[in-house]
Amino acid sequence: MELLYWHWIVLGIGLVLLELIIPSFTALWFGLGAVIVGLLLLLDPSLSLTFQIVFWASISAILTLVWFKYLKPSPKHGGNISLADVEGEIGLVIAKPSGSRCGKVRFSTPLLGEDEWDFETEDGVETGDQIQVIDVQDQTLKMKKR
């Protein structure tokens, strides 16, 4: 089977459109990788299928890693969290705190780009309990049982 340049471009556009359904930016980078392979194949039609697939996988992986490592904004790894941005939000305990270890809370809609956050509470909470944000301290949410 021989893949032509337009096959790669159509695959790339399809993956970019898939990003509308799966908002993780991963499909976007694989789609962009496929478009790049299509353009490269347009310039040099003699590229082997093996090279095309390896190059696509490599460029897609590199683009994805660059996105997650350097470009994706993450409030946990920089920037300050404002109490006004998160106060009153309700989440679900997925890991309760124990000793000096923070618990984990998951929100149904991401807070500042993150689904899961570390939290501390003075209330006794169990996995599955609903808790509410009351304060922010050093990138950790202070929560109370709802």
- Give the DSSP per-residue string, 30-71: HHHHHHHHHHHHHH-TT--HHHHHHHHHHHHHHHHHHIIIII
The residues, any chain, with a CB within 8 Å of residue 41's CB and separated by 6 or more, are 3, 4, 5, 8, 47, 52
pLDDT confidence bin for 51, thresholds 50/70/90: very high
**Could you tell me which CATH class the domain 78-145 is placed in?**
mainly beta
pTM score of the predicted model: 0.53
Q: What is the pLDDT of residues 91-137, one digit of tens each?
A: 999 998 888 889 999 988 887 778 888 999 888 888 999 999 998 88
Domain residue ranges of the chain, discontinuous segments joined by +: 5-71, 78-145
